[in-house]
Amino acid sequence: MDQFTLNLIVVGATFAIYIGIAIWARAGSTSEFYAAGRGVHPVTNGMATAADWMSAASFISMAGLIAFGGYTASSFLMGWTGGYVLLALLLAPYLRKFGKFTVPEFIGDRFYSQTARLVAVTCLIIASVTYVIGQMTGVGVAFSRFLEVSNTAGLLIGAAVVFAYAVLGGMKGITYTQVAQYVVLITAYTIPAIFISLQLTGVALPPIGLFSEYTATGEPLLARLNEVIQDLGFAAYTLQDTSFLPMLNMLLFTMSLMIGTAGLPHVIIRFFTVPRVADARWSAGWALVFISLLYLTAPAVGAMARLNLVDTIYPNGASEQPIAYDERPDWIKNWEITGLLKFEDKNGDGLIQWYNEGNATFAETATERGWQGSELTVNNDILVLANPEIAGLPSWVIALVAAGGLAAALSTAAGLLLAISSAVSHDLIKGAINPGISERGELLAARIAMAIAIAVATWLGLNPPGFAAQTVALAFGIAAASLFPVLMMGIFSTRINNHGAVAGMLAGLIFTVVYIFLHKGWFFIPGTNSFPDTIAGSLFGIQSTAIGAVGAILNFAVAYGVSKVTADTPQEIKDLVESVRVPRGAGSAAADH
Amino acid sequence: MSDKDKAMDYWKANVRLILISLVIWAVVSFGFGIVLRPLLSGIAIGGTDLGFWFAQQGSILVFLGLIFFYAFRMNSLDRKHGMDEE
């Protein structure tokens, strides 16, 4: 059986399971549609949250970023897990106690302001739509690579599948589908990692293998990796730049990812689905357990893939000659077709020289060896997908990885679409435009909003405003700078009032968006940026990906200052805050909705 | 003790627990993983140093421990202050 048929069978089988579950778990009421009837067990919810959270960025991109960034890319690992501590301690239990369906609803009620609710809806839609565009792009790439269709066709197939189960099932369908997707994606991620860890270190657990000995030479794997890449002029894998600005940027970037994680509405609404307040705390813990399985494996995948790549190109060691182009392995041929891996024989010797041509001190060595520039370009994003091929694993593993990448992208897209549709139908239509709408009407509006959101995201996915990573960074920045601070202050302070919240959200949102546009180009149009997006060239010496944390601080400060000079919050709001702080009475708050 | 005082006591105990947890959260990630890494460079682990381990693995393990520790402690606080759900 050829690889294509196998891909088709494995991907097709997983999709049949997802759609079957969505039909089985059809939502009948708004409570089931938005919050799965609040009947989801914390462990189940944790698993669904993990699938919801881990997108194409986590599954496909992250290990590649780590492989080529080394220590510096640790921000992704700490940032995308550390946010769950903030969620569990600062938001999830209280928002569950509040017992409503959406994030803007809490902001509107707590800050007794329709304006605050609508500003929150705006922040939510901007953050979620930008995020979902990146997912749809990822769906398109993965489908086109493994089903061997055009990028456009891949994207349209993906959109149809998302539409089928998200629109029919609502939160109830999505929750159980995501459990299945988690199982598929974590299996697909860990199986190749275990094989490769065994090959390189003889240790079956990749996180332990990363810090073990490289069997071929007997030295520690990371020491070996540092050695071979430095021989090619690259910076050491474990190197840290300890000067002030790089360190500050790493701090702020990690912080932005953490706060952004805790402020992303599609993650927060997952905690509305559990039966009790205590379950919301446990559920955040379980979510992190399931997420950690991938996040503890990713650094091993990154380091081992980098080492494998060097060993493939330089089979006799980095100081000897590389392999000849004519003798290249099949996986290089496969990925050359996609254009994501390229070879150019600059010095005409037929060998693949791959090194860091940007390193001035290494240039001398390169000239001595007769090299005229690095001849291989490897796109970060192919690493996880190509990993099983590089390690020579069986073809069923390759098919499984395809299914896993699709599960990651589709589950996140569905969760984001649900957050968008509930904000539109519940907060915008029922909350502002037509409060008298029936439950059936609201459900219909939610499904229509979801269909429109899928259409918009698909269209933007076909013509993306920039790289997926850029749009995802904007989504995190917005969530961190706009939603997280007011949610937190709404619970931990009785003093922050309606004016403070609105001013804070707007200050954080506008500051962050403008700063990103100044560095990435207005609406991501290339060439319209005023500053280069590097540490040295940027406006405050802070890269645009790290600015969300500064926006969040601004949000806190403005909200506090404005609240200080305007009227105190009314007594019934102080009572509301006090009731949110204690778990007692959570069941009734949910039932009277 | 009135219900209001009870709720106030419960909230204070909760905030104290949150602060302790967040200090640990920040020390392992921003501290050991980034700012304090040069100071920990003398401690070798698997071909690199302790700070690298915290940045790529240790902090995640501590985060996990923290959330379960907090959930466990809060359950007993809920009961102690009569704030649990049933």
Q: Which two tokens stand for residue A357?
A: 């041509």
CATH number of the CATH domain containing A129:
1.20.1730.10
Q: Which two tokens stand for residue A451?
A: 């269909």
A469-494 residue pLDDT tens: 666 767 888 899 999 999 999 999 99
Contact assessment for residue A34 and residue A170, using Cβ atoms and an 8 Å cutoff: yes
Residues of B in Cβ contact (< 8 Å) with A74: 33, 52, 55-56
pLDDT number for residue A591: 37
Containing H/E element for A378? Answer: strand A376-378
Tell me whether residue A53 is in a domain: yes
- Kind of pairing between the strands at B48-49 and B44-45: antiparallel
CA A426 – CA A429 distance, rounded (Å) = 6
Q: Does position A127 have pLDDT exceeding 90, yes or no?
A: no
pLDDT number for residue A165: 66
Tell me whether residue A211 is in a domain: yes
Contact assessment for residue B65 and residue A86, using Cβ atoms and an 8 Å cutoff: no
The angle formed by the CA atoms of residues A532, A504 and A492, to the nearest 5 degrees, is: 120
Averaged pLDDT, A372-379 = 83
Q: Given A89, A299, A585, which is nearest B57 (Cβ)?
A: A299
Q: Which two tokens stand for residue A579?
A: 């009731």
| pTM of the entire predicted model | 0.89
If pLDDT is split at 50, 70 and 90, which confidence band does B20 have? very high
Residues of A in Cβ contact (< 8 Å) with B62: none
SS3 category, A56 = helix
Contact assessment for residue A461 and residue A477, using Cβ atoms and an 8 Å cutoff: no
CB contact under 8 A, A238 and B49: yes
Contact assessment for residue A480 and residue A552, using Cβ atoms and an 8 Å cutoff: yes
Contact assessment for residue A120 and residue A104, using Cβ atoms and an 8 Å cutoff: yes
Q: Which two tokens stand for residue A264?
A: 């992303």
The three-state DSSP-derived secondary structure of A225-253 is HHHHHHHCCCCCCCCCCCCHHHHHHHHHH
Contact assessment for residue A413 and residue A405, using Cβ atoms and an 8 Å cutoff: no
The three-state DSSP-derived secondary structure of A406-449 is HHHHHHHHHHHHHHHHHHHHHHHHHHHHCCCCCHHHHHHHHHHH
Residues ≥6 apart with Cβ < 8 Å to B40: B32, B49, B50, B51, B54
CB contact under 8 A, B47 and A211: yes
A243-270 core/surface letters (b: 16 or more CB in 10 A; e: else)? eeeebbbbbbbbbbbbbbbbbbbbbbbb
Contact assessment for residue B40 and residue B51, using Cβ atoms and an 8 Å cutoff: yes
Tell me whether residue A377 is in a domain: no
Radius of gyration of chain A (CA): 25
Specify the residue for token string 């994003």.
A381
Contact assessment for residue A344 and residue A23, using Cβ atoms and an 8 Å cutoff: no
CA A536 – CA A244 distance, rounded (Å) = 12
CA A558 – CA A231 distance, rounded (Å) = 51
Task: Kindly identify which residue of chain A lies nearest to residue B66, measuring between CA atoms.
Answer: A85
Helix, strand, coil tally for chain B in percent (to 5): 80, 5, 15
CB contact under 8 A, B60 and A295: yes
pLDDT number for residue A37: 60
Tell me whether residue A129 is in a domain: yes
pLDDT number for residue A491: 93
If pLDDT is split at 50, 70 and 90, which confidence band does A589 have? very low
A480-497 core/surface letters (b: 16 or more CB in 10 A; e: else)? bbbbbbbbbbbbeebebb
Task: Kindly identify which residue of chain B lies nearest to residue A582, measuring between CA atoms.
Answer: B83
Strand partners of residue A213: A220
Q: Which of B9, B21, B29, B68 to mutate to test the interface with A (most CBs of A within 10 A)?
A: B29
A68-117 residue pLDDT tens: 888 998 999 999 999 999 999 999 899 888 877 788 989 999 999 989 99
CA distances from A513 to A70, A476, A533, A546 (A): 29, 11, 14, 12
Contact assessment for residue A169 and residue A378, using Cβ atoms and an 8 Å cutoff: no
Tell me whether residue A369 is in a domain: no
- Residues of B near A (Cβ–Cβ under 8 Å) read 7, 10-11, 14-15, 18, 21-22, 25, 29-30, 33-35, 37-38, 45-49, 51-53, 55-57, 59-61, 63-64, 66-68, 70-71, 74-75, 78, 82-85
A485-540 residue pLDDT tens: 999 999 999 999 999 999 999 999 999 989 988 887 777 666 777 787 777 777 88
Tell me whether residue A302 is in a domain: yes
Q: Given B11, B34, B68, which is nearest A581 (Cβ)?
A: B11
Residues of A in Cβ contact (< 8 Å) with B83: 582-584
Residues of A in Cβ contact (< 8 Å) with B85: 276-278, 583-587
| Shortest alpha-carbon distance between residue B63 and chain A (Å) | 6
Q: Does position A26 have pLDDT exceeding 70, yes or no?
A: no
Task: Kindly identify which residue of chain B lies nearest to residue A79, measuring between CA atoms.
Answer: B29
Task: Kindly identify which residue of chain B lies nearest to residue A88, measuring between CA atoms.
Answer: B67
| Shortest alpha-carbon distance between residue A34 and chain B (Å) | 23
Can you give the length of chain B in residues?
86
Q: What residue ranges do the domains of chain B occupy? A: 3-80
Q: Residue A19 CA to chain centroid, in angstroms?
A: 23
Q: Does position A46 have pLDDT exceeding 80, yes or no?
A: yes
A146-196 residue pLDDT tens: 777 777 787 888 888 777 766 766 666 677 888 888 998 899 899 999 999
- Sign of the alpha-carbon dihedral angle for A474, A475, A477, A478: positive
Task: Kindly identify which residue of chain A lies nearest to residue B9, measuring between CA atoms.
Answer: A582
CB contact under 8 A, A89 and B18: yes
A315-341 residue pLDDT tens: 888 888 888 888 888 888 877 776 678
Tell me whether residue A573 is in a domain: yes
Strand partners of residue A343: A376
Residue A276 phi, psi (nearest 5): -135, 165
Number of domains in chain A: 1
Containing H/E element for A377? Answer: strand A376-378
CB contact under 8 A, B47 and A224: yes
Averaged pLDDT, A565-577 = 89
- The rounded percent of chain A whose pLDDT value lies above 70 is 92
CA A284 – CA A92 distance, rounded (Å) = 8
Tell me whether residue A534 is in a domain: no
Domain with A31, as residue range(s), is: 3-307+390-468+569-591
pLDDT number for residue A593: 37
Q: Which two tokens stand for residue A87?
A: 């969620």
pLDDT number for residue A442: 82
Task: Kindly identify which residue of chain A lies nearest to residue B85, measuring between CA atoms.
Answer: A584
Contact assessment for residue B14 and residue B6, using Cβ atoms and an 8 Å cutoff: no
